[in-house]
Amino acid sequence: MVSKSPWIFGYGSLMWRPDFPFVQSRIGYIRGWRRVFWQGSTDHRGTPDAPGRVVTIIADERENCIGMAYHIAPERYGETIEILDYREKGGYRLEVLPVVFENNEQVFASVYIATPDNPEFLGQAEPEKIARQISTSRGPSGPNDEYVIKLARALRKIGANDPHVFEVERWVRSLKI
Ligand code: BEZ
């Protein structure tokens, strides 16, 4: 059964810093999507002169993207989306996708996605190149490498394996030394 109650699904910084009131959080995944460091960040983890890289998701039928789903009180849903729309502007738009929980229950959730048509989209690159760019970027929200390390930590905390994130993390850590 798919319920239509107000949920927000986070696969990036919303995993470790939701910063909005929610009544429940649950581990879940979106089927047929892959997390990639393909979105440029000029407002959070980089600057217009030296964009950082943050995650977005791309459709990939072989993959599932694990993250955290947050159940919002219906009366707070509108204001929560307003806050997030402001905080997460940088090329993302909101889509509604089905999220599957560990017990196979499903809900529809709002998900921020940066698609290739947004001006900050950087696209594919080798993990080492991605990590080198990340290692030298910082923005108003802090160093870009901290973003990678926090994302990897949040994924490990819920027992998730994301080879792309962990490979970029390994490169980033090696470049810190
Ligand atoms: C996320 O955690 O899902 C997210 C955070 C910021 C922008 C887009 C997505």
CA torsion sign, 151 to 38 to 69 to 158?
Answer: negative
Which residues span the domain enclosing 66?
7-176
Question: Is any ligand 1 atom within 6 A of the Cβ of residue 112?
Answer: yes
pLDDT higher than threshold 60 for residue 2:
no
62 sits in which H/E element = strand 52-71
Question: Is any ligand 1 atom within 6 A of the Cβ of residue 88?
Answer: yes
Give CA–CA dist 143/147, Å, rounded: 7
CA torsion sign, 139 to 89 to 18 to 129?
Answer: negative
pLDDT higher than threshold 80 for residue 153:
yes
Q: Which of 11, 39, 99 maximizes ligand 1 atoms within 8 Å of its Cβ, making it the mutation to test the pocket? A: 11
pTM passes above 0.85: yes
CATH number, domain at 169? 3.10.490.10
The confidence band for 87, taking pLDDT boundaries of 50, 70 and 90, is confident
Neighbours of 74 (CB within 10 A): 10
Amino acid letter at 22? F
Residue 49 within a domain: yes
How many domains are there within the chain?
1
Give CA–CA dist 138/140, Å, rounded: 7
Residue 99 within a domain: yes
Question: Is any ligand 1 atom within 6 A of the Cβ of residue 70?
Answer: no
Mean of all residue pLDDT scores within the chain: 94
Residue 1 within a domain: no
Q: Which residues contact 37 (CB under 8 A, 6 or more apart)?
A: 53, 54, 55, 130, 134, 148, 164, 165, 168
The confidence band for 4, taking pLDDT boundaries of 50, 70 and 90, is low
Residue 2 within a domain: no
